[in-house]
Amino acid sequence: MSSGSLPRPARFETWRLVSVYLVIFLAFAGLISRLITLQVVESSNWNISAVDNFTNEVSVPAARGIIYDRNGSVLARNLASYNVVITPAGLPDDESDIQRIYRELSELIDIPVGGPVTDETLAEAKLFAACVPGPGIGQLVALQDTLAPYSAVKIKCNVTEEVARIVQERSADWPGVTVEIEPIRDYPTGSLTATLVGFLGPIPASLEDELRARGFIPNRDKIGYAGVEASMQSILTGQNGLRVVQIDVAGQELRNLEPPIDPEPGHNVYLTIDTRLQAAAEASLIKDINFWNTYFDTVRISSGVVIAMNPKTGEILAMVSYPNYENNRFARIIPAYYYQQLSEDSRNPLLNNAISAEFPPGSVFKLSTATGAFNEGIVDADDIVFAPGQLLLCEKFNPNDPCTGTNTRPFVDHILEKKPEGFGPISFFQCIAFSSNVCFYKLGGGFEDEIPQGLGIERLRQYARALGYDQPSGIQLQGEADGLIPSPDWKRINTGENWSTGDTYIASVGQGYVLVTPLQVLMSGAAIANNGKLMQPTIIRDVTDGEGNQVEMWFNPEDFTVTDFQTPGSYQISPFVPNMKWDMTVTPMIEDYSCENGVCSLDEDNLKIVNPETIAAVRAGTRLAVTDPTFGTLYDLFNQFPIAVAGKTGTAEYCDDVARKAERCNFGAWPTHSWTLAYAPFEDPEIIVIAFAYNGGEGASVAGPIVARVIEAYFELKAIDIAQGNTPLGQ
């Protein structure tokens, strides 16, 4: 049969063929329309994703500034610490190779391999924070592999340099295992300066957005949590650099996409502290505390403060708050157990008692009363005040309250037990030198016909504020307490009672509602010592940039900002210039007080100065405390001292929660804090020291020796400096 002659068999029905072509056409049309959607309509969005894929912003950490003391001794610096890390994506493909690496690494760094990776072991490993030993290597890597396989997980932190070197040498055998260098903060002086220098911690969630916007990387960068690390955070931290790099899928950096921005190192900060004097002050305080605690065989003195300052410049030379903490233990992380231990300690080691704790001042506050009484003419240099052992005074809540047996009670002098008849007739200077309570009751609250009108609480408050009380000092440390100098209004608002005459009497001797910080007491003494000029207390002496050039800096205590230009309310901290807060003998700051028809009031529009003679008289009183052999409170301590010292002691009765719990708040036998304030040389003071011992007892015998040893150390160190040709201490 001839194939050519037969009619061609209808191979494909036309409509079926058309249907096939239609299917093919529709399929390709669908694909092309999808292609147009992707490559034309949505192209720019996909392009963003593509750029996002290969673009990586690498933040280059800036070196934190170094903190020095006034002589250039390092108080805070950066050290390298080595972490052994594994990048899961960098490990070999072969499971047996991985296990070999784990085994060998495990031998070197003593972290368990971890056994088989199961859901249970992973769930357990999740509970551990980075760097905390516990999970095995296998578990750590498996977790990281699911999170971010191309970034490294810390296997062991803070290994020795030798281990780090071995790991680096074996990098060819151990692909994926590397050494990460992490800067950690190191404090060579440790707990000695922890109160001032502070410590670093992770960026808290509350600040995360703000700091992230400024280039910080949470969980890597740290910020200051206390001390100068916190207050000077903005200048210590520097500016992180930024590199925008192209990466491949393995995270390997290929090239810079934009010119890199180099990190700017933080500024270095020089403190006014002299580490040697700081050590002497701490040793002196702890020696005293240990002596008395051993003597009484109980923790009698639980905390204490020593501050040394140059009254003419305001430079704090030493500031010790006991107990404190070891800030080197916070270098890497803030260990929970240690932090808990510190925060549960009733003595509150994390608190800087020098500026953040408020105590009743006791007799050191008499400087305010003395200044006020003398300046207001209540007492004169020639006047004699009669000081019996005790005064019977009645408590009046209103001027017309009658004095009866029920509201009359004795106000005693501290000499009463030794000498029931009291100091007898004494001068204004002796009132200060002997620290006679009775004298100051009379000056402050008035007494019958002898002193018809005392200073009164309102005027006392004026003079106390002029000496620096009742307000933060503006020092460059966070957490400063205001203290409290009460007023009748304050009492009505806060206790619901009228101000009573008794309140004035005890406020005159620094008791009752009066609360102060040790730094405020130091400032009041410094204002007197410096002839009425109150200098701004400062702990910053100098700021230099990363290359060591001195830079100008201003500090604003109101909003706690550090700027390289002057802002309203700020004062210059670098280069150091003594900043005077005020000179009360020049600037009128005491409100005039006038009485009409027995109603007395302050006139805030009518201000007056404190007379230089007043300051001179108070100074003379503080000197007499050292020179008067009869009852001079500091006579025993400083009589033999080759340099003329002047000062004031204080024994402040208190009744706080601790004392109340121990049932020690018994009327007439209250527990007492011990205070001593002294400055030298008397004629031209360059050092003033305050010592405070919580529950220390008598000021002169407990806090006094501490002050004496610090002043002694100061002049010895100064002599050493001069002998060695260095800049003498305090200059």
Partner 1 sequence: MLRGLSWRNFDFLLLGAVVLASAFGVAVIRSAIAGNEELILYPTRQAYFVIVGLVVIFLLAGIDYKYWLSIHWIIYIVMMGFLISLSGLGQAAFGAQRWFQVGVLFLQPTEFAKIVIILSLARYFEKSQYEPRDLKWLAKSLAWTWGLLIWILLQPNLSNVIVTMVIWFFMVWMNRLELKTLFWMGVSGVLVVIAAFPFLEEYQRQRVFNFLFPDPNASYGAIYNVQQALIAIGSGGLFGKGYGHGTQTQLRFMKVRHTDFIFSAISEEFGMIGSILVILTLGFIVWRCIRTAQKSRDLSGSMIALGVATLLFFQGSANLAMNMNLIPVSGLPLPFFSYGGSGLMSLMVCIGLVESVAMRHKPMDY
Residues that bind partner 1 (CB under 8 A): 3-4, 8-9, 11-13, 16-17, 19-21, 24, 27-28, 30-32, 34-36, 38-40, 42-43, 45-47, 49-51, 53-54, 149, 246-250, 254
Label residue 650 exposed, middle or buried (CB < 10 Å: 0-12, 13-18, 19+).
Answer: buried
Nearer to partner 1 (CB atom), residue 88 or residue 314:
88
d(CA 309, CA 293): 28
Nearer to partner 1 (CB atom), residue 57 or residue 248:
248
Nearer to partner 1 (CB atom), residue 54 or residue 291:
54
- C-alpha dist (Å) from residue 654 to 445, 447, 511: 21, 26, 8
d(CA 645, CA 680): 5
Minimum CB separation of residue 19 from partner 1 in Å reads 8
Nearer to partner 1 (CB atom), residue 152 or residue 235:
152
For 700, what's the count of Cα atoms within 13 Å in the CB-facing half-sphere?
A: 18
What is the DSSP code (8-state) at residue 634? T
First to last CA, the chain: 129
Nearer to partner 1 (CB atom), residue 249 or residue 599:
249
Other Cβ atoms less than 10 A from the Cβ of 161: the count is 11
Question: 3-state class of 83 per DSSP?
Answer: strand
Minimum CB separation of residue 245 from partner 1 in Å reads 12
Cross-strand pairs, 647 = 678
Nearer to partner 1 (CB atom), residue 56 or residue 191:
56
Nearer to partner 1 (CB atom), residue 63 or residue 122:
122
Question: Phi and psi for 651 in degrees, rounded to 5?
Answer: -130, 100
Q: Is the dihedral of CA 559, 565, 571, 576 positive or negative?
A: positive
Tokens 């106000």 correspond to 411
Minimum CB separation of residue 357 from partner 1 in Å reads 50
* Cβ atoms of 92 and 147 closer than 8 Å: no
Minimum CB separation of residue 483 from partner 1 in Å reads 55
Minimum CB separation of residue 49 from partner 1 in Å reads 5
Nearer to partner 1 (CB atom), residue 132 or residue 250:
250
All residues at 6 or more sequence positions from 316 whose CB lies less than 8 Å from its CB, including other chains: 272, 273, 307, 308, 309, 475, 537, 538, 539
Minimum CB separation of residue 208 from partner 1 in Å reads 21
Nearer to partner 1 (CB atom), residue 257 or residue 580:
257
Minimum CB separation of residue 41 from partner 1 in Å reads 9
Tokens of 99: 């296990």
Minimum CB separation of residue 249 from partner 1 in Å reads 4
Minimum CB separation of residue 14 from partner 1 in Å reads 10
Nearer to partner 1 (CB atom), residue 20 or residue 60:
20
Minimum CB separation of residue 89 from partner 1 in Å reads 10
Q: In the structure, how many helices (H) and strands (E) does the chain have?
A: 24, 27
Nearer to partner 1 (CB atom), residue 246 or residue 567:
246
d(CA 351, CA 84): 36
d(CA 445, CA 502): 8
Minimum CB separation of residue 45 from partner 1 in Å reads 7
Other Cβ atoms less than 10 A from the Cβ of 333: the count is 18
d(CA 592, CA 583): 18
Minimum CB separation of residue 143 from partner 1 in Å reads 14
Q: Interior CA angle at 703 toward 700 and 707, to 5°? A: 100
d(CA 283, CA 344): 25
Instruction: Provide the pairing of β-strand 268-271 with 384-387.
Output: unpaired
Nearer to partner 1 (CB atom), residue 88 or residue 349:
88
For 254, what's the count of Cα atoms within 13 Å in the CB-facing half-sphere?
A: 10
Nearer to partner 1 (CB atom), residue 255 or residue 418:
255
Question: Phi and psi for 386 in degrees, rounded to 5?
Answer: -90, 120
Tokens of 715: 């002049």
* Cβ atoms of 553 and 535 closer than 8 Å: no
Minimum CB separation of residue 38 from partner 1 in Å reads 4
